[in-house]
Structure 1
Amino acid sequence: MKTTLYVAKRIRTLDAARPVAQALAVRGDTVLAVGSREEVRAVAGPGVREVDLGAATVVPGLVDAHAHISGLGRTLTTARLEGAASLEEAVHRLAEAPRTSFQGDWLLGKGWDQNAWPTRAFPGRKELDARFPTTPVCLMRVDHHAYWVNGEALRRAGIGRDTPDPAGGRIVRDAAGEATGVLIDNAMDLVTAAVPEPTQAQLEARLRAALERCAQVGLTGVHDAGMELAAFRKLREWEEAGHLPLRVYAMAAGQGEERHAYLEQGPYEGRMLGMKSVKLLADGALGSRGAALHEPYSDEAGQYGLLLLSPEELEARARAFMRRGFQVCIHAIGDRANTLVLDVLLQCAEETGTRHLRHRVEHAQILRKEDIRRLGAAGLVASVQPTHATSDMGWAEARLGRERLEGAYAWRSLKEAGAQLALGSDFPIENPDVLAGLYAARTRQDAAGRPEGGWMPHERLTAEEALEGFTVGPAWASFKEDRRGRLAPGMDADFVALSVDPVEGPAAELVDARVVATVVAGAEVFRS
């Protein structure tokens, strides 16, 4: 097997036996040795290929513990509305959308956020109808928990004045009772059913674009939070052919009818692709007021959010997957949803004897203090996303009020309570840039350094804790702590070279830092 010697200014191994080194040798897909250049060269032997990474700092493979590969691929290939400063700008971007934005004759796009617009009000179908009177348009909100559609899309979906709100969903209506064109959570399914499926060529193009982007930003692996069956089958095909460039830990999509196929199939374990977990959703998102709260939203009287599955159904699905050997990962944003999810996970794990399956709370975003203590005492995985806090901080208090913020985005409190932290981005809801995640975890500030001192700074993580959250944490949360998350002899050769030191360097340097190289299983999948 080929042996390669990598030399850098600093190698942060996260291995207590040798935390800092200058060189590492890779033989095949495994770390052979770590130490000084002389020590490692002696172990590597003659004829070794040497790569000098100069002033770079090497860290163990960075892994996004909660993301959506298909969603990123769709974002990269359809109309992009992220950062649109107004409704008018969003509509203007649609007029210039590339041909790849069409699925059948439907125009698709993603990324709008009314919280970034001057009015902060939901858009409506009228603005889309004026530009697209006969073309069905379906635009996903930035958080993936609402659609903005036009009249033609409503017509094809059969949504009219008398269409009732589905359980766990909301059709936003005007004063006259007519659908405005915004559909929240389970109401989105009414339109999704009318959109043609992507072609195989579209699916492949989206997956390839997403995986390539992940390598460019320094990710050696992704925990995919709810993978559709078609995408899983395509990745498994690439895995078996030896063409999958990154490690993917897939969560089966447990929300829809495809869950039956996953239950029948059972867990899967390959070299680069694994599926030993399932993703369920308890509630919606805070930005679209779908997160389920114990008390009403502070900025909308009488609105408590939405439970996307009844407590009984959530429990039944969790129990069924646990019995089949799956780790159960449940999306929970609001405090009511988090209370429910803890009840379900703890009860079902006890009944099925599956505490060893390391069940996870995905987002664990807004919790009561007593639920933070419960989650930690149970040793559950808290899969959290640092950039959600810095994206939401401008309007979260308006939604929740000051008191509820005390248990929101509470990474430090969760860690100190005993939870296992695994950090991610939730891309494409957020940018897949893992360096931005490291920065947000340390500072709780935006890229411009606001607010001074950080937002609720007592919940910050240290620089090393942030790095562990994207390395050691995801490895443990996917049952691979004996192979990944650290750099030591015998571990998988997954690592990333960065232009800055993410531990000792100033946090502000992470904003403009770059990825020098990404290595997965000993293969360079990206080099700047």
Structure 2
Amino acid sequence: MGRAISQWIYLGGVKAFADGSLGSNSALFHEPYVDEPHNYGLQVTESEILYNMTMASEKSGLQVAIHAIGDRANDLILDIYESVVSTNGMRDRRFRIEHAQHLAPGAAARFGRQGIVASVQPLHLLGDADSATKKLGMDRAQKESYLFRSLLASNALLAFGSDWPVSILRFINNYLSLHITVYRLVVDINPLGGIKTAMKRIPPGWDDAWIPSECLTLNDALKAHTISAARACFLDNDLGSLSPGKLADFVILSTDSWDYFVAEGSASVEATYVSGERAYP
């Protein structure tokens, strides 16, 4: 899937949108928002259009990634992907759902069963932990939100990224009254913050993890940011691990112990290598 235009440019696929965002009460849910009892969110693209776009992308050999945040939006896209596979037959598509933030019961299992990539941004949960409870209620927020471990347990491909700089908008919505250090944490492109968040799930001002049963191990968080992220965009033959024949993209950290990172939650990048050559500093 996709095609290499040069060593540095890869045309991977197309993206579409199923719904809006939690912060604007436009993510699409099966049940209404607690703070807006008549609002179920917004489906921003008709199902038929999404289906036809997916089918057309299939013919062009392009991977498909569709934005879905609410539980109903995720179910909708899972249904569309299932229908496309039923029509065109099985092959290695690596269909993606971007964000996959709130999943109805059984949806995590469908990701694994259908072979759908859950492309998730751990740092987003820092801004959603407080608002999800207010907007969805405690029970729905606890059962549906950022189900990292549930997705892995269902054998889904869990790929992590930063979504930067879109997170700046989330800061404006959720953190305008908080200290500037929170702003820097939420919009930082540095994956170390995402690794820490996936492991600890402790939002600013909280003492304990949000939905601790969904915390990941260090190894799982690293894999989601590296080899799984590469596989999610058909680049695992070139990127994602230090292996013979790959491009040798890697960083050198300020600590030689992941135990220190787990305990302290901090480290800095001392050097960056791209295709085996030092690019920073």
What TM-score range do you get, normalising by the shorter chain?
0.7 to 0.9
Whether 1:415 and 2:139 are equivalent positions in the alignment is: no
Aligned match of 2:236 in 481, 488, 506?
Answer: 481
Question: 1:437 maps to which residue?
Answer: 194
User: What is the CA–CA distance in structure 2 between the aligned matches of 1:504 and 1:490, rounded to whole Å?
Assistant: 30
For structure 2, the 5+ residue unaligned runs are: 168-186
Residue 382 of structure 1 contacts residue 419 of structure 1 at CA under 8 Å; is this kept in 2? yes
Letter of the aligned partner of 1:486 in structure 2?
Answer: S
Question: How many residues in Structure 1 have an aligned counterpart in Structure 2?
Answer: 260
Q: 1:269 Cα deviation (Å)?
A: 4.0
Which of these two proteins has the greater Rg computed from alpha carbons? 1
Question: 2:82 maps to which residue?
Answer: 346
What does the per-residue CA deviation read over 1:208-233, in whole Å, with 9 as the maximum and x for residues that have no partner?
xxxxxxxxxxxxxxxxxxxxxxxxxx
Aligned match of 2:270 in 505, 508, 516?
Answer: 516
> Helix, strand or coil: the match of 2:260?
coil
Letter of the aligned partner of 1:497 in structure 2?
Answer: I
Question: 1:395 maps to which residue?
Answer: 131
What does the per-residue CA deviation read over 1:313-360, in whole Å, with 9 as the maximum and x for residues that have no partner?
111111111121111111000011001000011211332336412111
Structure with higher RCO (Cα < 8 A, 6+ apart): 1
User: What is the CA–CA distance in structure 1 between the aligned matches of 2:64 and 2:12, rounded to whole Å?
Assistant: 9
> Helix, strand or coil: the match of 2:79?
helix
What does the per-residue CA deviation read over 1:395-444, in whole Å, with 9 as the maximum and x for residues that have no partner?
11111112222121101001101110110111111321211111101100
For structure 1, the 5+ residue unaligned runs are: 1-248, 250-265
Residue 386 of structure 1 contacts residue 424 of structure 1 at CA under 8 Å; is this kept in 2? yes
Query: TM-score by structure 2 length?
Result: 0.87
> Helix, strand or coil: the match of 1:372?
helix
> Helix, strand or coil: the match of 1:338?
helix
User: What is the CA–CA distance in structure 2 between the aligned matches of 1:488 and 1:436, rounded to whole Å?
Assistant: 25
Letter of the aligned partner of 2:272 in structure 1?
Answer: T
Question: 2:53 maps to which residue?
Answer: 317
User: What is the CA–CA distance in structure 2 between the aligned matches of 1:501 and 1:332, rounded to whole Å?
Assistant: 38
Moved >6 Å (runs of 4+): none
> Helix, strand or coil: the match of 1:475?
helix
User: What is the CA–CA distance in structure 2 between the aligned matches of 1:268 and 1:310, rounded to whole Å?
Assistant: 31
> Helix, strand or coil: the match of 2:35?
coil
User: What is the CA–CA distance in structure 2 between the aligned matches of 1:457 and 1:500, rounded to whole Å?
Assistant: 27
Mapping 1:24-423, distance limit 5 Å: 267-353=3-89, 355-405=91-141, 406-423=143-160
User: What is the CA–CA distance in structure 2 between the aligned matches of 1:500 and 1:285, rounded to whole Å?
Assistant: 37
Distance 1:510 1:526, change over 3 A: farther
Query: TM-score by structure 1 length?
Result: 0.47
Q: 1:287 Cα deviation (Å)?
A: 0.3
Question: 2:220 maps to which residue?
Answer: 465
Whether 1:427 and 2:184 are equivalent positions in the alignment is: no
> Helix, strand or coil: the match of 2:106?
helix
Question: 1:151 maps to which residue?
Answer: none
User: What is the CA–CA distance in structure 2 between the aligned matches of 1:281 and 1:376, rounded to whole Å?
Assistant: 22
Distance 1:396 1:481, change over 3 A: same
User: What is the CA–CA distance in structure 2 between the aligned matches of 1:385 and 1:301, rounded to whole Å?
Assistant: 28
Letter of the aligned partner of 1:316 in structure 2?
Answer: N
Q: 1:385 Cα deviation (Å)?
A: 0.7
